[in-house]
Amino acid sequence: IAIVTGGTRGIGAAISKALKQEGYRVIANYAGNDEAAHKFKADTGIDVRKWDVSDYAACESNLKAIENEIGPIDTLVNNAGITRDAMFHKMTPEHWYQVINTNLNSLFNMTRPLWDGMRARNFGRIICISSINGQKGQMGQANYSAAKAGDIGFVKALAQEGAAKGITVNAICPGYIGTEMVLAVPKDVLEKRILPHIPVGRLGEPEEIARCVVFLASDQSGFITGATLTANGGQ
């Protein structure tokens, strides 16, 4: 059983579909877009559940309900993320805390309720979707870059605690992927300021990130933990 946060759109949707194809029972969490979630469920047959990953109580109660209803969750993909971009001199506390709560605090909120069960069963796969901008920074994204760098620190520390219990904890840092979020960037910015910095000369596909997740979730990746897999076209 696999949970994918932000699992009905963009990279998350590709991850949910790829895991289902590999034989996982997938539950795709989403936060707000009911229309997109219901369409995703109708198109894929994947179970969708709505709650806010920045709310610990909501994560705990929903995860408990899923485990009682379906069974133990062995694979968690922390993918949910938002942007509230602004130059730092214009960034508001709201811009800052919304991004930190959704993109970083959600890792605790989602992982902590599952951790004891994974330890008891001596198996678990936790995969956190970070970002190239958590590695190199990005102007206008002090909040996002801080959260995504925090994801990497979380993974490195927790991997050391999970190792003796058969739990692997890894991060994936996508570069610029052709999702709604990236394609919303003005065309001239994309063509003049982003694509020239990608050595392979194109945006990544969500399915390329999903294949990384499938590998890290598999039994074959048991010796890989605390690692950061960068999929960014050579950036």
Catalytic residue set: 144
Tell me how many helices (H) and strands (E) the chain has.
10, 7
Q: What is the DSSP letter of 205?
A: P
> Residue 179 corresponds to which tokens in the numbers above?
């999702």
On the 0-12 / 13-18 / 19+ scale of CB atoms within 10 A, 41 is: middle
- How far CA 211 is from CA of 15, 18, 73, 77, 231, in Å, comes to 8, 7, 20, 13, 11
The C-alpha angle 83, 40, 5, rounded to 5 degrees, equals 45
Q: How far apart are CA 125 and CA 162, in angstroms?
A: 10
CA atoms within 13 A on the CB side of 5: 32
